[in-house]
Structure 1
Amino acid sequence: MNNLNLVVLGAQWGDEGKGRLVDWLAGQADIVARFNGGHNAGHTIVIDGKSYKLSLLPSGLVRGKKGVIGNGVVIEPNAFFAEISRMREMGVDVTPDNLTIAETACLVLPIHKIVDQEQEKRRKNAIGTTLRGIGPAYEDKVGRRAIRICDLASPKLLEEKLDMLLAHHNAWLKGGGAETVEKQPILDELLKFAPELLSYSGPVWSMLDKAMNDGESILFEGSQAVMLDVDWGSYPYVTSSGTLAASAASGTGVGVNRIGSVLGVSKCYATRVGEGPFPTELADELGQFLQSEGKEFGVNTGRPRRCGWLDIVQLKQAIKVSGMSSIALTKLDVLDQLKLIKVCVAYEISGRISDLEAFSSPKVNNAKPIYEEFSGWECTTQGISSFFDLPEKAKQLIKRIEDLIEIPISIVTTGPDRLDTIVLRDPKSCM
């Protein structure tokens, strides 16, 4: 295994603060590679009070690092170029010299957004997607009718593939009484974007192989989180791509024996956007406090996040199925004002106590959390960058969480800024 490389994954339902950690860790990397998701993901990086909001672009670009978007990502051209424009306005220049997109990455088309909205409308129980067409784009990928960036180089092939894709989706739309979609506007837009998109594209798998052979280090950046993985998450309330460490390999073309250590990112509490089971959810004033204090609103959508206590049962599953070697614990400072802090250590389901339960199982819908309670420290931790300077009760909570999850906690964050970071151990050394 390559001990120069590191995979950063969300260990809950997303929004754990992966972007700022990737930004911080990118200082030790040569390349930052994004491997899954689309512009439904949102990463916020705060540097000297200035916020950079990213969706498709690898977070390391803000650090001046080489960026890669792998074949596991789906690209919406308008969103991609709009994000590049926003970054340029903030002083981050993005060009084919510092960003490469896998030539086999699939595209998100206007019809995908229409299908996404129609699917949510027709479902008895809505999934709570971002309605940006990500799910239908992945459906086309698996259905072998997707349009990939490399297809843009051949207008004839592009038109043939677009005909097949539209025939499939328009039949479904028409069958449900919705309006169908015309080909020409989509084709014209794709042909307009083709030259510039193709200028960013290349054989990412080969590029990364050469970089590793030359001794360069790669930081693999995941979007969403393990509990939203299409196989291992709280199905069907999941995303449409793989979010585990194994997806860092398949989503970039790197062998699994070369991806390196795996850093999971978890808040000191838990949040979730959209529908689906959430055993430790706090639907009360305390949940509203966490939402307000933690600024728990979606980067892209502005949707409020559901908030609750940290769930060790959920976290242990994420650790085990993704092979996480250490955890970064974020947003410790959000708990500063609390007199009492709880951590879920087991579930009671139909009279049975369990500390390891599959979140893909419907049984979790009826799980009653069993908590351990901790006294709060009731003083500020924001900006503390040394473990020894933390209040004793905060240290006790961190040490107990580490005991419960059975892997090391390597990083603790105490605020949104790049420097609000406590390093307990190098995550690359946890293998």
Structure 2
Amino acid sequence: MGGGIGGLTAGLSLLRAGCDVHIYERASRLSEVGAGVQVSPNASRLLHRLGLSDALAATGVKPLAWHQRRWDDGRTLLRAPLAEALEATYGFPHYQMHRADLLAALASALPPSRVHTGHRLTGFTDHGSYVEARFADGPRVEADVLLGADGIHSAVRQGLFGPDQARFTGCVAYRGVVPAERLRHLNLEVTAQIWLGPGRHFVHYFISGRRFVNFVAVVEQDRWTRESWTDQGSVGDALAAYDGWHPQVREIIGAADETYVWALFDRPPLPRWSAGRVTLLGDAAHAMLPFMAQGAAQAIEDGAALAECLRRDRFVPDALRRYEQVRLPRTSRMQEISAGNKTRFHLPDGPAQRDRDQQMTAGSQAWSFNALGWVYEHDAAAVEIGGEDQQMSIRSAAEGRMT
């Protein structure tokens, strides 16, 4: 199991369910590069149950609204309330967080002896009654279940279903984190602002107790040769991509010391995630575009559902099939809607764009957070399955990182 947000959440959920869990991470230490993450109520309810409410409140920022704006004049297209309104409706808060803050909260809740860094998975064998995982540095581990939370280039998925290629979606993203002090003159609201424009969009919001402003600038591009979360970008290139955009957008980009750039890849929904005693989680199972801000939340949901399935079903293959059955339709729908938002966000100025803007300005139900009730009210741990409670040993191995 990778040591990213999804992998650590799954490990903690499984420990709380009474399982004997060990987490294996390829990197030499647990870390997240500078970027923000949205923790919506469907994820925060699960993290609160894991005892992380104080940690989330300490560094998370509760946005007042989703504020969608036009790229050139800054005109408001839609302002959907969050904060108190969202918490009152769904019972749990929405947080904007630095990924590193969320990862640190999860890691601190796990016993250090359960997390093993510097382990690159090279292969595994399902022997029927147990799984054997093999690592580059020599050790072999036997377990009842192998969980691959090893990201979009998952070695566990490749071992299950053979090699495949992620799809380049025609978008690249510049991302950066700016000290909020540098932007004080802009009097930024505590909202998640999404600026929509031809062939690109721009998102910014506060993180880390409002000490920083996170931004993501997504630009359509014809091709890309590699995918990485750590490729150094150019502030100048990002500014050039947003030439002519509203001054607030350009000032936020220009205030960054550095940017990173990465291509956005996804995969079509898999027909299945599991085989025997091996299954997948997060981007390894359902990589999606970030245009619903649900990538991390869905990985968190996966962990909660898997823990409940394994807690209540004695026969591991049945438990993993049930996990796949309850999760695959929901995540496939998220993938589809996220991909569709790329088109809606990036419409060229013209009749279709004006129709979209008119619907949003009129407060169309399709754009309000009420229309996302199926996302936010969902409790991934409420899995109805038969079987008796049990304890089992779970050794989850993976390489790479969760996104």
The normalised TM-score by structure 2 is 0.28
Higher relative contact order (CA 8 A, sep 6+): 2
